Amino acid sequence: MSEIDAQKTSSAREQFLSAKNGLLKHLVGLEPLVDRLLIALLSKGHILIEGPPGVAKTRTIKLFSQALDVSFVRIQATPDLLPADITGTDIYQQQSGEFTFLPGPLFNNIILVDEVNRAPPKVQSALLEAMGEHQISTGGITRKLDEPFLVAATQNPIEHEGTYPLPEAQLDRFMFFVNIELPNVEHERQILDQVLSEQSGDEDKTFSAQTCDKNTVIAARQEVAGVFLSEAVRDYIVRIVGATRGYGAGGIHTENISQPASPRASINIAIAAQAAAWLDGRDHVDPNDIASLAPEILCGRISLDYKARAKGLTNRSIIQDIIRATPRV
């Protein structure tokens, strides 16, 4: 496997790696999440982060936005949120006698939607169009959203009272489904030291300068699209996704799957793998990229029947079984 020569490494990649290194100085034990955020940004994807309170879901996305010279907004989802609160609305101007459109928070580059499952269905529908089409329709007019556009949503898996579970169409618009667990003792001590240093002023909790701007992101996306994806790797992707529908060797693990993955899963795995290889400095995708990314792309795209849930099986465990059983060649 050939590596891209260090002298030919693009300035865009250097800037992305600089942003990653800056983030990891402020985030303990969250390198996998940082990687997924960078890959999603490069792949025009979105990310859903699930985890208990206090594991730095919101902090990670805020710091991620600070590492980029792009616009950022945080939306706190509540049951009384209205579609116009996020898309924008027409305001009547008394002096001119005309309506003027006032853009909502979705007209930014990085959108943090905190506790997205607390937003009512109408708001989730408005978010669905923005995520899927990168546009918003209001008052009979469709308006394109500025690029790059990334939605990073969080949800709490513990409290479900007063929430609106995301429909399958909404879940399918997310590229990654990342689960953040509680830190181990070593990481928690590092987190404690870091927070105390920030509070005392010994350590800056923000970035002094952005490392990537919009043009850098667009240039990086063009380079990512040029990463080589061989026929063998494409076949491997299709075998994994097809296994969720009962095909191939991995299909033996899918008897409890009531809703398999759609072709959008194959597309997302391929594009994400290209971005991962680019970040790693390679000009090609290998099967290891597929095996490492597929669980977090597929787990939110399948549904289990009641028998599987009664057995204690999870989406992630079944996807892992599928990957282990699926031949790479």
pLDDT value at residue 8: 42
Residue 14 has pLDDT above 80, yes or no: yes
CB contact set of 49 (below 8 Å; sequence gap of 6+): 33, 57, 60, 61, 152, 153, 154, 155, 178, 180
Asked if residues 296 and 175 have their Cβ atoms less than 8 Å apart, the reply is: no
Half-sphere exposure of 298 (CA within 13 A, CB side): 35
Asked if residues 277 and 285 have their Cβ atoms less than 8 Å apart, the reply is: yes
Q: How confident is residue 35, by pLDDT bands cut at 50, 70 and 90?
A: very high
Give residue-wise pLDDT tens across range 172-208: 889 999 999 999 999 999 999 988 888 877 666 555 5
Give me the mean pLDDT over the 36-63 stretch. Answer: 93
Give me the mean pLDDT over the 3-22 stretch. Answer: 73
Helix (H) or strand (E) holding 179: strand 176-179
Give residue-wise pLDDT tens across range 97-119: 888 889 999 999 999 999 998 99
Rounded to whole angstroms, the Cα distance separating 150 from 32 reads 18
Q: Which residue has the tokens 């699926």?
A: 326
Report all structural domains of the chain as residue ranges with CATH numbers, in order of start.
10-206 (3.40.50.300), 226-325 (1.10.8.80)
Residue 126 has pLDDT above 80, yes or no: yes
Is 136 in a helix, a strand, or coil? strand
38: closest CA among 15, 58, 57? 15
For residue 178, the cross-strand partners are: 49
